[in-house]
Amino acid sequence: MGAVNIWNAIEVAESHTSDIPSSSLTIDHSLSPSDMKPRIVELCKDLFKKWSNLDESHFSVERVSGGITNLLLKVSVVEKNGNIVNITVRLYGPNTEYVINRERELQAIPYLSAAGFGAKLLGIFANGMVQSFIDARTLAPPDMREPKLAAEIAKQLRKFHQVDIPGSKEPQLWNDIFKFYGKASNLNFDDFEEQKKYETISFKEIISEIIELKELTGCLDAPVVYAHNDLLSGNLMLNDDEERLYIIDFEYGSYSYRGFDIGNHFNEYAGYDCDYSLCPNKDEQYHFFRHYLDPERPEEVSDKDLEALYIETNMYMLASHLYWALWALIQAKMSPIDFDYLGYFFLRYGEFRRQKETCFSLAKAYLSRSHTR
């Protein structure tokens, strides 16, 4: 199954990026960077012919970071003339094809890159991609709350949402949520304790929550944009000297609802520990909205526009909890990464249930006011 996906992905990438080299090599995700090095050197030589005569001593490999779905490596190459080139090798996490549409990602990257987002795509291989190296630090969740940075993220996200990616503009959010639901509701765990926890979940309740939420958010007419869908701190980088912010990693990107992308970003203030007391309050959200809606004149954004985006965002924050809760169940079964995905499901779904009534009441009151105007 994996091989078919890989070659489809390489074909897709080549049809959209004819000048991007590709390799059929795979790199074992579970090795340490030093054990991966010979294979990475082989990959670099296969992709970039100008390095084919360099011996292994010209290459160094270090781990930059690893999310809970992929691994980033910095590869430094000393060329014959002494020039040092840094590149990033991104390894897809094992079994991530169950939750990530790689074809969708590879189609979008060239267009996002041309618009100035993320790293430049330099090459693709069987289980990953090679990109230009971004000299910047990855943000931590508390950074995103800083007003100056929040304003910059809002401005960049507005630009991101204006990128036109060819192909269907149909929003994918509910398709993805229903797809995740289908997979998440049919699992069997080998571990007895995990299976016991899994069996406490009412999928009947979850499906009715999804349908109810889809119906109410549908009344809000949220604009459809090309959304990042995973704007957590790990996918934001900052070069402090140049004060330049980078949005990276588009593996969950798709056409979706504006409010989902913003609401999902706000949920990520809580970090993987899901400390939702860290999520932005109404004033902090309004600060973000002003810079998103009118980066040039943030203070001139009308109260009406702020309220509309507030309602939209908070409703889609609920959708974000359902999306990642179901995603976590699939990962609990499929991912070899040491993370308590099952626990993460209960944290996300628990927060959905805590926030639901407040958000629904706000949205219903707003809609009834809008209809009587």
Q: What percent of the chain has pLDDT over 70?
A: 93
Domain identity same for 215 and 278: yes
Which residue is associated with the tokens 């074809």? 103
- One domain, residues 351 and 216: yes
Task: Tell me if residue 95 falls in helix, strand or coil.
Answer: coil
- Give the span between the Cα atoms of 99 and 179, in whole angstroms: 9
What's the number of domains the chain is made of? 2
18 band by pLDDT with thresholds 50, 70 and 90: low
Same domain, 115 and 220: no
CATH number for the domain harbouring residue 285: 3.90.1200.10
Band (pLDDT 50/70/90 cuts) for residue 69 is low
Q: Where a domain ends, among 100, 132, 164?
A: 132
Tens of pLDDT, residues 137-162: 999 999 999 999 999 999 999 999 99
d(CA 211, CA 127): 35
Domain-located, residue 141: yes
Q: Once rounded to an integer, what is the mean pLDDT over residues 45-60? A: 96
Is there a domain that residue 2 lies in? no
Domain harbouring 124, CATH code: 3.30.200.20
Q: Which residue has the higher pLDDT, 13 or 245?
A: 245
Tens-digit pLDDT profile for residues 300-309: 999 999 999 9
Cβ proximity of 46 and 148 under 8 Å? no
SS3 content of the chain, % helix, strand, coil (to 5): 55, 15, 30
pLDDT bucket at 103, cuts 50 / 70 / 90: confident
Q: What angle do CA 188, 192, 193 make, to 5 degrees?
A: 110
pLDDT reading at 293 higher than 70? yes
| Residue 318 included in any domain | yes
Q: Is the same domain home to 92 and 165? A: no
pLDDT tens-digit readout, 166-184:
989 999 999 999 999 999 9
Give the closest residue to 205 by CA, choosing from 333, 325, 364: 325
Which of the 8 DSSP states describes residue 168? Answer: -
In the DSSP assignment, the letter for residue 164 is: -
Angle at 291 between CA 286 and CA 295, to 5 degrees: 155
What's the confidence (pLDDT) of residue 110? 86
Nearest to 254 by CA among 121, 165, 155, 177: 165
Rounded-to-integer distance, Cα 27 and Cα 13, Å: 19
Contacts of 18 (CB under 8 A, 6+ apart): none
Structural domain for 76, as ranges: 9-132
Of the three residues 76, 105, 132, the one that is the final residue of a domain is 132
Cα R_g (the chain), whole angstroms: 21
* Per-residue pLDDT tens over the stretch 209-242: 999 999 999 999 999 999 999 999 999 999 999 9
pLDDT tens sequence across 318-363: 999 999 999 999 999 998 888 999 999 999 999 999 999 999 999 9
What are residue 94's phi and psi, to 5 degrees? -60, 140
Residues 113 and 99 in one domain: yes
Q: 3-class SS at 330?
A: helix
Which of 82, 111, 132 marks a domain boundary? 132
Assess whether 98 and 150 both reside in one domain. no
Would you call 154 exposed, middle or buried from its count of C-beta atoms within 10 A (0-12, 13-18, 19+)? buried
Task: Give SS3 for 253.
Answer: coil
Question: Are 339 and 201 part of one and the same domain?
Answer: yes
Question: b or e along 211-232 (b: 16 or more beta carbons within 10 Å of the residue's beta carbon)?
Answer: eebeebbeebebebbbbbbbbb
